[in-house]
Amino acid sequence: MPISRRQTLGALLGATTAFTVLGSTAAFADAIPLSQLSGYLNDMQTAESPFTQINSDGTVSTGTVFIHRPGRVRFEHDGDDLLVMAGGSQVAIFDGRASGPPEQYPLSQTPLRIILQRNVNLSESGMVGEHSFDGTSTRVVARDPERPNVGSITLVFTPDPIELRQWIITDEGGGQTTVILGALEQGGRIPARYFSIPQEITSRNGG
């Protein structure tokens, strides 16, 4: 089934493993402090992981995500000429089934900006609407306080050591996209071209 523009953009914004998540009544005292979660994200320079994406309509796809903070991410979908990348403050969606140039959007218009910005501060006023613990993992629901209408991102972390296990994107219409991370390998070298929208366009045009 074709993946819609909204679902594809949601993929860029979310990643998850299958953890049960409780509501805001979960015990706050056992949650990993926001300062430690911010520090973990700020220490993450490069990362790579397989992912499974669950769209709001129940369709599922798989692929590999490459992260290079700040500001860069690449989602390659398996068995489908579909690529989502962020670089140069832009998000681009390359769909091999569509003609013409890729769709592009400012990175600032996606909740993913929250974890890709140079200095992540989850303690910033107005950013976190929920910070809870379900007995296994810490759940943080964050929204860009400067752009509250672009949706939110739910991040799920496990402790000892802290690891990002899940994020769920909720768009402005309430639709949710979940992406399940496999083993997140940090610190590797990722080619700069993986995040260059102009280079990807040139390559696809036979240049």
- Classified as helix, coil or strand, 107 is helix
In angstroms, the CA 57 to CA 40 distance is 32
pLDDT tens-digit readout, 124-152: 988 999 999 999 999 999 998 888 888 99
Residue 35: inside a domain, yes or no? yes
Q: Total structural domains in the chain?
A: 1
154 falls within a domain: yes
Locate the DSSP E strands across the chain. 46-54, 60-68, 72-77, 82-87, 90-95, 103-106, 128-133, 138-142, 152-158, 163-170, 176-181, 185-186
Does residue 1 lie within any of the structural domains?
A: no
Which segments of 78-184 are extended strands (E)?
Answer: 82-87, 90-95, 103-106, 128-133, 138-142, 152-158, 163-170, 176-181
Residue 19 in any domain: the answer is yes
| pLDDT tens column, 153-188 | 999 999 999 999 999 999 888 889 998 899 899 999
Residue range of the domain that includes 52: 7-204
Amino acid at 124: E
200 in a structural domain: yes
Q: How many helices (H) and strands (E) does the chain have?
A: 4, 12
Q: What is the pLDDT of residue 207?
A: 66
CA distances in angstroms from 10 to 69, 92, 115, 154, listed in the order given: 19, 13, 15, 12
CA 32 to chain centre: 20
Q: Would 131 be classed as within a structural domain?
A: yes
Pairing type for strands 90-95 and 152-158 reads: unpaired
pLDDT tens per residue across span 76-110: 999 878 999 999 999 999 988 877 889 999 999 88
Q: Which of 152, 132, 103, 108 is nearest to 37 (CA)?
A: 132
Report yes or no on 51 lying in a domain.
yes
DSSP letter for 42, please.
Answer: H
Q: Find out whether 31 and 150 touch, Cβ atoms under 8 Å.
A: no
3-state helix, strand, coil in the chain (%, to 5): 20, 35, 45
Residue 2 lies inside a defined structural domain of this protein = no
pTM of the model as a whole: 0.84
Question: Residue 129 maps to which CATH number?
Answer: 2.50.20.10
